[in-house]
Amino acid sequence: MGLLSSSKRDIAVSFAYSIPEYRCFGPFDPNVKGTVEVKFLRKVKKILNIRVGLSGTVDGTFIHAYKTDANSDYGSGNTKRETFKDSTMLFDIGKYLSGHDSSESTIAGDFETGAVIKNEFDFRFPFEGTYLPSSCVNIGGSNDNQGIVSVIYKLYVTVTHRKEYRKMNYVQEFPEVVAYQADSMLPVTGSVTYKEYNICNIFRAKVKKFVFDPRLNMLVPSSLEKAHRRTRIIRSIWNDNYRKDIYSSLTKDISIFCVLHIPDAINIMHTFNQIIKLKIRVKLDVPMEPNFCFNNQSTGLGVFDIEQIGLYQIYDVNMKIQQYTDSHRDKLPLMLMTFKPGTLRFDIKDFIHNGTLDVWEHEISLDSFSRATASPVLYNFPIPTMMYGSVGDHFKCASTAEFEVVIGNANEREPKRKTFTALTHSMFHMGYQLAHHNAVEVEPVHNIEEPPPSYFKHDFTDLSGEVATSSGPASVPSRDYPK
């Protein structure tokens, strides 16, 4: 059960309701059912009514800055700033509180100190007939001539007071924000198609742990522990291991191809191992033996660790606040899997030769990791993810998925790692798109062709508590907004 409360000087309000399975509501769990308790901390007179409800709004703020009293000779002047706000009501449903007997009329009148009113409520997000975007807070910029937009869903209690000396009644509101995960407005039809993303990085001067000794016809420990690639020449003066001929037998540049197969539409109700297929490929310019192994014993040259696999969202939001428009692009971390050294290790000596492509390859399985198989990826998201959709001209969003795979060289003495980034064309959805979104006419798609937008730097904390930072900014073509 969730227990949320807020209070002002005279009145305290608390909500109790079941917490959704994914820590947010959505088409998969649209009902908000529980109890509300209103407690009077002091005597309060002349209450007209008390209402409990559930509402959703798109709220925007734009700071318009312009010069005044400009000097024509010098172009200087004072800067004046005006703040414009706009709000679009998505829905508002509720009821007036009544006495313990359901037949009793709406509660009103005077209330003594310590009086308590407790009522049940049962609301439902009306996603069937109205497009409801995912919850988001303060998307955009707060500088001059920039706008910010929020999509807010909240449980609330309003207490309406009669004020004799005021022209209008006085209303107190006690809000409690709840999270909502939307589905995509764009229908996904047909079978899922996987697209291949092939990313290459080179590990320079990878050090062998063992080298082949032709005299002994066996592998022996290498005399080199660190590559020191940038200082090799100066080190060769006093250390023969860094002479070019010997160094080239102890180290090797390894080109790693990280191959990801990603569906063109990612269902966030699927598990992680269902939405990503990972394969490692290498194209060897030297024989497998004795460079990578001898008699099936590894030289260590082809040993690498997959350290992280991350799922991100790149979204592009367009907003209209009164007569002003603005857009914002950002990168949102959704799920990060971090592996301890040796947990997800591979060795090129174990790869299988693909004669068609003339490469050596190895499939990486995530089936033994519970976070990848036990529950839908939505369960791991820190906040609701942005979906393709729009609310008139006030709020429009387009988004795509990005995957990052971090691979390390498995060398404790000289650790190096490379990040393989796949900017996909895949959109997110949940499979709850409903035909009765009559207000919006959109064409169903089988393949998403638009490139993702750029993003800015974003810090985040993984569910395990480890802090990670995404790279940025990057320059990527912008997405098309929903029309």
Choose one of 146, 178, 210: the last residue of a domain. Answer: 178
CA 404 distance to own-chain centroid: 13
pLDDT digits (tens, 9 = 90+) for 237-257: 676 666 777 767 788 999 999
* CATH number of 168's domain: 2.60.40.840
Choose one of 131, 146, 178: the last residue of a domain. Answer: 178
Query: Are 126 and 242 contained in the same domain?
Result: no
pLDDT of residue 438: 37
**Model pTM score:** 0.80
Lowest pLDDT segment from 22-31, 83-92, 209-218, 359-368: 209-218
Query: Are 164 and 295 contained in the same domain?
Result: no
Mapping DSSP to helix (H, G, I), strand (E, B) and coil, where does residue 181 land?
coil
Residue ranges of alpha helices (H) inside 308-438 are: 370-373
pLDDT of residue 162: 83
Q: Over 50: is that where the pLDDT of 86 sits?
A: yes
In a domain, 479, yes or no: no
pLDDT of residue 455: 25
Query: Are 249 and 162 contained in the same domain?
Result: no
* Mean pLDDT estimate for the chain: 82
Query: Are 39 and 172 contained in the same domain?
Result: yes
> Per the structure block, which two tokens stand in for 193?
């198609």
Nearest to 475 by CA among 448, 447, 456, 449: 456
% residues pLDDT > 70 (the chain): 81
In a domain, 35, yes or no: yes
| The residue count for the chain | 483
Query: Are 138 and 262 contained in the same domain?
Result: no
Mean pLDDT of all residues in 80-106: 80
Q: Over 60: is that where the pLDDT of 228 sits?
A: yes
What phi and psi, each to the nearest 5 degrees, are found at residue 183? -100, 170
Question: Which residue would you say has higher pLDDT here, 24 or 468?
Answer: 24
Query: Are 154 and 280 contained in the same domain?
Result: no
Query: Are 118 and 267 contained in the same domain?
Result: no
In a domain, 349, yes or no: yes
Mean pLDDT of all residues in 269-294: 93
> Per the structure block, which two tokens stand in for 123?
């609301």
Query: Are 173 and 304 contained in the same domain?
Result: no
In a domain, 394, yes or no: yes
pLDDT of residue 7: 54
Mean pLDDT of all residues in 278-298: 93
Total domains in the chain come to: 2
> Per the structure block, which two tokens stand in for 195?
């697209």
* Residue the block writes with tokens 């209103």: 38
Mean pLDDT of all residues in 351-376: 92
Q: Over 60: is that where the pLDDT of 72 sits?
A: no
pLDDT of residue 104: 52
Question: Which residue would you say has higher pLDDT here, 67 or 382?
Answer: 382
Q: Over 70: is that where the pLDDT of 449 sits?
A: no
Question: Which residue would you say has higher pLDDT here, 22 or 71?
Answer: 22
Query: Are 350 and 429 contained in the same domain?
Result: yes
pLDDT of residue 94: 94
In a domain, 82, yes or no: no
Question: Which residue would you say has higher pLDDT here, 88 or 464?
Answer: 88
Query: Are 255 and 392 contained in the same domain?
Result: yes
In a domain, 78, yes or no: no
Lowest pLDDT segment from 13-27, 180-194, 448-462: 448-462
Mapping DSSP to helix (H, G, I), strand (E, B) and coil, where does residue 206 land?
strand
* Residue the block writes with tokens 């198609």: 193
Question: Which residue would you say has higher pLDDT here, 322 or 463?
Answer: 322
Mean pLDDT of all residues in 76-94: 87
Query: Are 220 and 156 contained in the same domain?
Result: no
In a domain, 81, yes or no: no
Mean pLDDT of all residues in 289-308: 94
pLDDT of residue 146: 85
pLDDT of residue 270: 92
Contact by Cβ (8 Å): 228, 239: no
Nearest to 429 by CA among 411, 412, 448: 448
Mean pLDDT of all residues in 102-117: 78
Band (360; pLDDT cuts 50, 70, 90): very high
In a domain, 68, yes or no: no
Mean pLDDT of all residues in 372-400: 91
Domain that holds residue 113: 2-61+88-178
Pairing mode of beta strands 395-408, 417-423: antiparallel
Band (442; pLDDT cuts 50, 70, 90): very low
DSSP letters along 82-137, please?
A: EEEEEEEEEEEEEEE-B-SSTTSPBP-EEE-TT-EEEEEEEEE--TTTS--PPPEE
Choose one of 178, 207, 226: the last residue of a domain. Answer: 178
User: Where is mean pLDDT largest: 226-235, 351-360, 459-468?
Assistant: 351-360
pLDDT digits (tens, 9 = 90+) for 299-353: 999 999 999 999 999 999 999 999 989 999 999 899 999 999 999 999 999 999 9
Band (76; pLDDT cuts 50, 70, 90): low
Query: Are 109 and 166 contained in the same domain?
Result: yes
